[in-house]
Amino acid sequence: MSEGWMRVSERIIEQLKQLENTKDKDRLELVRSLRFVLGVLQRSLVGWTQWVSNPDIMTIFSEDDLENMTKRLAEFTRSFIEYDIKMTSLGAEKGLTAPKKPTKKPKEDRTERFYV
């Protein structure tokens, strides 16, 4: 399983490099690239979550390994969340608002119905 995952990941890295090096992208291509990048990130997060949720896998790593993983991912995550806040703020400045929650209709009281 790990070998296949790594081969696919290496191909993904090549695709990411191509995206980074592509010049003169139009808006549609930029959005498509963002979707690809976020999909890759999601794929990786799912893999990490599966590993961390499996005690059999986690026991093969030393305490130092776990500490290094945690430190590196915490740095990356903090940086990502800081960027997320910055982009959310930019979206708000441009008038982007959170979708409104649909209002719930009150439940009908069925005890008052009369059928003939």
Q: Considering the domain boundaries, does residue 112 fall inside one?
A: no
**114 or 74, which is more confident?**
74
**Same domain assignment for residues 54 and 80:** no
Query: What is the H or E stretch that residue 100 is in?
Result: none
Looking at residue 37, its pLDDT comes to: 95
| pLDDT tens sequence across 40-83 | 999 999 999 999 999 999 999 999 999 999 999 999 999 999 99
In which domain, by residue range, is 32 found? 1-60
Please report the sign of the dihedral spanned by the C-alpha atoms of residue 44, residue 50, residue 53, residue 54: negative
**Same domain assignment for residues 37 and 86:** no
Whether 61 and 69 have beta carbons less than 8 Å apart is answered as yes
Give this prediction's pTM.
0.73
pLDDT band at 106, cuts 50/70/90? low
**Same domain assignment for residues 44 and 70:** no
Looking at residue 38, its pLDDT comes to: 96
**Same domain assignment for residues 17 and 38:** yes
**Same domain assignment for residues 4 and 52:** yes
How many domains does the chain fold into?
Answer: 2
Q: Considering the domain boundaries, does residue 99 fall inside one?
A: no
Q: Considering the domain boundaries, does residue 101 fall inside one?
A: no
| Res 109 pLDDT > 70 | no
Whether 51 and 69 have beta carbons less than 8 Å apart is answered as no
Q: Considering the domain boundaries, does residue 108 fall inside one?
A: no
pLDDT band at 111, cuts 50/70/90? low
Looking at residue 102, its pLDDT comes to: 76
**Same domain assignment for residues 10 and 55:** yes
Taking CA atoms, 85 is separated from 14, 36, 82, in Å, by 29, 21, 5
